[in-house]
Chains A and B, each alone.
Chain A
Amino acid sequence: EVQLVQSGAEVKKPGESLKISCKGSGYSFTSYWIGWVRQMPGKGLEWMGIIYPGDSDTRYSPSFQGQVTISADKSISTAYLQWSSLKASDTAMYYCARLRIAARSGHYFDYWGQGTLVTVSS
């Protein structure tokens, strides 16, 4: 069974750093891209970026380039999303998801983690 298990909720102060995780199991972790999606309170889904754990190739949405860092450790089947200096506007639910790519059907997120709630408040 494919599973993506994310780290727990975080409460941080503005200016602090944070790294959240997403552990994959039940499939070949190095063979699929993993993406991160932000959902601000009461809002829609925003794609942040993706990483290919096999070679750490990383692509960012222009909206998030330079704002976050996506990484992966294939030895422990875990992807990460990190911030060096959080802002109140980073308060959101963050989801990781496995990206399925098929030549005749495009690229879609077929399995999702349960989400990590990040709250940034002074």
Chain B
Amino acid sequence: DIQMTQSPSSVSASVGDRVTITCRASQGISSWLAWYQQKPGKAPKLLIYAASSLQSGVPSRFSGSGSGTDFTLTISSLQPEDFATYYCQQANSFPHITFGQGTRLEIK
């Protein structure tokens, strides 16, 4: 099974900061990676798919990059509504789906 490891597990930042979250796959997954945002008490929301494609309606301050085993999610200028937990998900081998353990983004 493909394991997904996110880092850091938590990060503190201020409004306006640039933040990067990383996700590493235990084996190569090409560009088959997604990122989700989850706010407390809410369902996850798809942000990025295919490593760098922005889901419709998601602000352009969110971007994704990477391929193979190493991926990043970048928020260019943090907004108050961006404080949440972020998960990566590998989509390499249907139907297997694996999520990373999550990265909690907190207000500094």
* A37 surroundings in chain B (CB, below 8 A): 44
A33–B45 Cα distance when bound, in Å, is 17
The verdict on A7 contacting chain B, using a C-beta distance below 8 Å, is: no
For the residues of A in contact with B, the DSSP-based class is: strand
Contact B98 A106 (CB under 8 A): no
If the complex has contacts A45-B87, A115-B43, are A59 and B34 also in contact, measured as CB distance less than 8 A? no
Contact A106 B34 (CB under 8 A): yes
Give the number of chain B interface residues (Cβ < 8 Å): 28
* A112 surroundings in chain B (CB, below 8 A): 43-45
Contact B99 A106 (CB under 8 A): no
Annotate A79-115 by CB proximity to B: 1 below 8 A, 0 otherwise.
0000000000000000101001110111111101111
* A62 surroundings in chain B (CB, below 8 A): 1
Annotate B17-54 by CB proximity to A: 1 below 8 A, 0 otherwise.
00000000000000111101010000111100110010
Annotate B70-91 by CB proximity to A: 1 below 8 A, 0 otherwise.
0000000000000000010101
Residue among A59, A101, A105 with the highest chain B CB neighbour number at 10 A: A105
Contact B49 A35 (CB under 8 A): no
Contact A106 B44 (CB under 8 A): no
- Choose from A33, A46, A50 the contact partner of B99 (Cβ within 8 Å): A46
A104–B44 Cα distance when bound, in Å, is 23
A115–B39 Cα distance when bound, in Å, is 13
B interface with A by C-beta (< 8 Å): 1, 31-34, 36, 38, 43-46, 49-50, 53, 55, 87, 89, 91-92, 94-102
Instruction: Give 13 new A-B contacts, CB below 8 A, not counting A108-B91, A109-B89.
Output: A45-B36, A45-B38, A45-B102, A46-B99, A61-B97, A95-B43, A104-B50, A105-B91, A106-B32, A106-B33, A106-B34, A106-B91, A108-B46
A interface with B by C-beta (< 8 Å): 33, 35, 37, 44-47, 50, 59, 61-62, 95, 97, 100-102, 104-110, 112-115
8 nearest A-B pairs in the assembled complex, by CB-CB distance: A106-B91, A106-B32, A105-B50, A112-B43, A47-B97, A59-B95, A45-B99, A108-B34
